Chains A and B, each alone.
Chain A
Amino acid sequence: MPSHDVLIIGAGLAGQRAAIAAAEGGATVAIMSKVHPVRSHSTAAAGGINAALAPEDSWESHAFDTVKGSDYLGDQDAIEIMCREAPDEVLWLEHAGVTFHRNPEGRLGTRAFGGASAARTYYVADITGQALLHVLYEQLMKHHETIDRYEEWFTTSLLLNENGHCVGALAREIRTGALEVFNAKSVILASGGAGQCYKPTTNALICTADGIAQAYRVGAPLMDMEMVQYHPTTLVENGFLITEGARGEGALLFNREGERFMEKTAPNKMELASRDVVSRAEQVEINEGRAFEDGGIALDVTVVPRKRVLEALREIVNIGRDFAGVDITRDPIHIRPGQHYIMGGVKTDTNGETSVRGLYAAGEVACISVHGGNRLGANSLLDTLIFGRRSGTHAAGRARHVAMPETPHSRVRDEQRWIDSIIAREHGGRRVSAIKDELGENMNTYCAVFRDADGLGTMRDIVERLKQEAETAWIDDRGTVFNQDVLGAIELGYMLDCAEAIVAGAIERKESRGAHSRTDFPERNDEEWLKHIDISRNGGDAPKITHSPVTITRWEPQERTY
């Protein structure tokens, strides 16, 4: 039975950063991931990471941009911490070996990003997330004496003791199918986002809300779950991301009638209005029947000089060619708003602690909340690193005065029985994959860019029905070695729990703020709704909803215009 001071679940940027911080804090550490760490979804981040590092920039300016971007739902104490610590974090990464872009003087160079009042995004070509993730993994290998890596291990449940403290987790070794108890004084959840609750999504296949559901199941409240970011330009075909850089370079949006419809909603900023605004405008065109037959909007990159496209938009030239069969330098490509990021997650304080003692959360799985109603580009990588590190340090400190717990072996037996029962299910009900598709497609219909009470009510009923169907959903694989089928069935359960919370939050918030746009409550309503919605498990009943205040330090809410 492995025992460690700190067990980290998830090895994306948040988890790896937490592991290094905990090890440097003197703790024995285990880091576990259901895929090899460098396969984590953090690798997909292309754009960069924000920090007010240049002498002429200030953390206050970065913080204000973030507060405003969040539509004032972000907690300002947490935002202040994130923005204040950002410069040192970027320097730490640089010292660890990240090959950041340099300016002609050999210093760190920046790129401009949306919603920001200064160019403060640091980057590595078009592979920032990948470079960061691989360099952190280098550091993980360097720390091999204090950090045990459990690669391709799948956490199935968190373990609580009789006092309700988190004391470890149960995990299945994917390669052998063996189930194991991991004892730990503290557990840090860093298991990423929930994009697969939607179909399509820009997120990888492994983003299945595991951590959100696992925390929810042991009683940790979730927060801001209704805030789901839709990115304005994702491929109609498969939901792949087309960077906003395309519009930054001058690409235009047209409906089927050849109309530049952004004129109607954002006559000044046009295509360059903020993310939620553009996504909403596109959705109006689609809903009112002015989309192309495939349901898409035309993103016309041909107006950008071909040479410039090949230079500056290489990545999307490849995506267009490889994944949509379109040469974007010659033909418009069809896009639509697509699920991209989940602002909500497991509620934590600024040290990453959840309300379950011994349980921390960091990264996309967590909600601190620094993104509030709308995340700014390049702030997510920063969030994962800052709060990953803070969680790791804090958990290592906690380990010094907590005894090593031990979990009775009976827990393994029960869990094993549950997994075996899934594998043994009769081929009677529905396939797991069919339920997953139905969930994703409906979330993308009823709980997307625009929402209303009717649609959300329908969605709530669908989730409830799918949860029942999932009880008997069957799989093909009866083996133990790399049984990916049974993991898919377990993930489906997580996604359904997460969807339940998203829908409950969306039903509750009767206003429009950030990414949450209610056609039946089209205005922002600070008087009643400048607060967080917390959701916790309520036995088998409907989720329990409470409210908590938004922390305001120095920026009073104003009207949000760009």
Chain B
Amino acid sequence: MAEFTLRLRRYLPESGEAAYWQDYTVELEPHRSVLEGILQVRAEQDGTVGIRCSCRAAICGSCGVRINDRAALACHTHLSAAAAGAKDGVIKVEPMGNMPVIKDLITDFEAVHWKKVRRVTPWLLPDGPPPEREYIVAHEAMVDVTQPMACIQCGACVSDCLSMEVDPEFIGPAALAKAYRFVGDPRDGQHFERLQDLAEDPHGIYDCTHCFNCIEACPKGVAPMSQIMRLRRLATADFQIDDRNNGKRHEQAFTELIEKYGTLFEAELLPRSYGGKFHPRALPELLRSLPAILKAVMRGKVTAMKALHHPKLPDQKRVREIFETVEGREQRYDLNLYISGYDDDADDDVPADAKAGDAKAEASA
């Protein structure tokens, strides 16, 4: 047993008061979870503390909060780890970000998260009537979409998404991961339409700034950012979707420049993203960016020299070799790997000991 101090962000909408911090002390084994700490508070000290929870085992996705400024599941965070990560040993727990707070640690999922999920038409849209038996699809494809399927809709990624902070309309990591679950599913018949929709939406797949926060926040290894990158690759490379947001051109320009110079030639990136300096889309865009460019010039980030000439990396050849190897592959190695552990021993034959008719692996039922 050890003593832990929980500093909870309280907000009682009916009190008319602003949010405030309240400290509670609990006594529990160090490997117990922050949720168990809060439940102890609720059972023994103060039943008014609000938090959603159910499974206690990181599977229902209810208990997302921010612990010491980072999104996490309360039931999936040890008290000891939380205390060690806290500045003064006091475990700070507050509601998740990017969503309005309803009460204490309870946020409005419906207003933000679920609305975004519904935005991506989150159901299978097969072509024509289903086959008589199951759809025949590759094992790898099912494993691939099982990774986004592992999402428990806890909202941790949404809470910490930097793009969403800037653009609340951004469809966001969880909903886009959900979109990949259909775009990656061979049974779905609307891959192109889905991708076009998400590419054309100014708050869609090109609105992510690769901050990695969603990957770090996710308790289930869904890696939403990677799913977004998959969507982009499919939209550009496979479906050649030339979107209004210039996402495709930007991506293309990015790759071309790296291939050529090894590092990013920023002055060249913007015009190329709009189809080259002389493309009709480029001019207004360049004009719009003028203030930013001027500012950069003033700060010395962009000089006339830098704008015109970008040095190549000394070993630029190696970069080009990487490109050649990757592009020379017959198959793209970009599938998700959901390691279930069962896949390797699952064959269709009835195992001998199961035939014997006994409780082998009554598994977790």
Query: A: which residues have CB within 8 A of B?
Result: 35-36, 38-41, 43-48, 54, 65, 91, 94-97, 99-119, 121, 123-127, 130-131, 134, 138-139, 141-142, 151, 175, 204-206, 238, 240-241, 243-245, 247-249, 269, 272-275, 310-315, 319, 322-325, 375-381, 431-434, 437, 475-477, 479-482, 484-485, 488, 562
Contact = CB atoms under 8 A, between A and B. Distances in A.
Contacts of A116: 354, 357
Nearest to B80: A325
Interface of B: 12-14, 29-31, 33, 42-44, 46-48, 50, 52-62, 76, 78, 102-104, 106, 109-110, 118, 122-124, 126, 130, 133-139, 142-143, 145-146, 149-153, 185, 187, 338-351, 353-355, 357-365
B346 A248 contact: no
B342 A43 contact: no
A130 B47 CA distance: 30
A119 B351 contact: yes
- 6 shortest A-B CB distances, which residue pairs? A114-B362, A248-B361, A377-B365, A125-B340, A476-B47, A243-B364
Nearest to B117: A141
B348 A45 contact: no
Given A244-B364, A377-B363, A476-B46, A482 B102 contact: yes
A339 B139 CA distance: 36
Given A116-B354, A272-B358, A109 B348 contact: yes
Given A95-B130, A204-B54, A312 B359 contact: no
16 contacts: A39-B60, A41-B60, A45-B365, A107-B133, A112-B350, A113-B363, A114-B362, A125-B143, A204-B55, A273-B358, A275-B359, A314-B339, A319-B57, A378-B365, A437-B43, A476-B46
A303 B106 CA distance: 44
Contacts of B130: 95
Given A54-B348, A101-B343, A248-B361, 10 more contacts: A35-B60, A41-B60, A45-B364, A99-B146, A125-B150, A127-B149, A130-B149, A175-B102, A322-B78, A433-B44
B362 A275 contact: yes
A117 B362 contact: no
Contact of A97 (B124, B344, B345): B124
Contacts of B153: 38, 134
A166 to B, nearest CB: 27
A312 B341 contact: yes
Contacts of A127: 146, 149-150
B106 A482 contact: yes
Contacts of A248: 360-363
B246 to A, nearest CB: 32
Contact of B355 (A104, A118, A322): A118
A119 B358 contact: no
A323 B30 CA distance: 10
A241 B52 CA distance: 22
Contact of A141 (B31, B54, B62, B123): B123
Contacts of B341: 126, 310-315
B59 A43 contact: yes
Nearest to A381: B365
Nearest to B104: A482
Contacts of A314: 339-341
B365 A204 contact: no
B43 A433 contact: yes
Identify the interface centre among B30, B106, B185, B364: most chain A CB within 10 Å of its CB. B364
Identify the interface centre among A41, A131, A477: most chain B CB within 10 Å of its CB. A477
A107 B346 CA distance: 12
A376 B362 CA distance: 8
B309 to A, nearest CB: 51
Nearest to B103: A482
Contacts of A313: 341
Contacts of B57: 44, 240, 319, 323
A101 B12 CA distance: 46
B363 A114 contact: yes
Nearest to B219: A322
Contacts of B340: 101, 125-126, 314
B123 A142 contact: yes
A121 B360 CA distance: 12
Contact of A479 (B48, B56, B106): B48
Contacts of A238: 56
A51 to B, nearest CB: 11
A96 B124 contact: yes
Identify the interface centre among B130, B137, B359: most chain A CB within 10 Å of its CB. B359
A512 B359 CA distance: 20
Given A113-B361, A244-B364, A378-B363, A105 B136 contact: yes
Nearest to A316: B364
A288 B363 CA distance: 28
A41 B146 contact: no
Contacts of B364: 45-47, 126, 241, 243-245, 315, 377
B361 A245 contact: yes
Given A103-B346, A141-B118, A273-B359, A131 B149 contact: yes
A125 B353 CA distance: 21
Contacts of B30: 325
B342 A312 contact: yes
Contacts of A111: 342, 346, 361, 363
Contacts of B54: 35, 39, 41, 204-206
B139 A138 contact: no
A115 B362 contact: yes
A432 B340 CA distance: 41
B361 A247 contact: yes
B102 to A, nearest CB: 6
B361 A97 contact: no
Contacts of B44: 431, 433
Contacts of B62: 35-36, 39
Nearest to B363: A47
Contacts of A115: 357-359, 362
Contacts of B362: 47, 113-115, 244, 248, 274-275, 376-377
A480 B365 contact: no
A245 B13 CA distance: 47
B267 to A, nearest CB: 45
Contacts of A274: 358-359, 362
A110 B348 contact: yes
A479 B43 contact: no
A314 B342 CA distance: 9
Given A111-B342, A141-B118, A479 B14 contact: yes
B137 A126 contact: no
Contacts of B346: 101, 103, 109-111
A119 B58 CA distance: 29
Contacts of A107: 133-134, 136, 348
Contacts of A325: 29-31, 78
A106 B102 contact: no
Contacts of A47: 362-365
B350 A106 contact: no
A249 B13 CA distance: 52
Given A44-B59, A118-B355, A204-B54, A124 B146 contact: yes
Nearest to A480: B14
B92 to A, nearest CB: 21
Contact of B61 (A39, A126, A272): A39
Contacts of A434: 43
A26 B355 CA distance: 44
Given A100-B142, A138-B122, A244-B363, A117 B355 contact: yes
A556 B153 CA distance: 47
Contact of B142 (A35, A99, A117, A484): A99
Contacts of A45: 364-365
B43 A379 contact: no
Nearest to A56: B350
A103 B359 contact: no
Contact of B350 (A118, A123, A379): A118
A116 B350 CA distance: 11
A484 B363 CA distance: 34
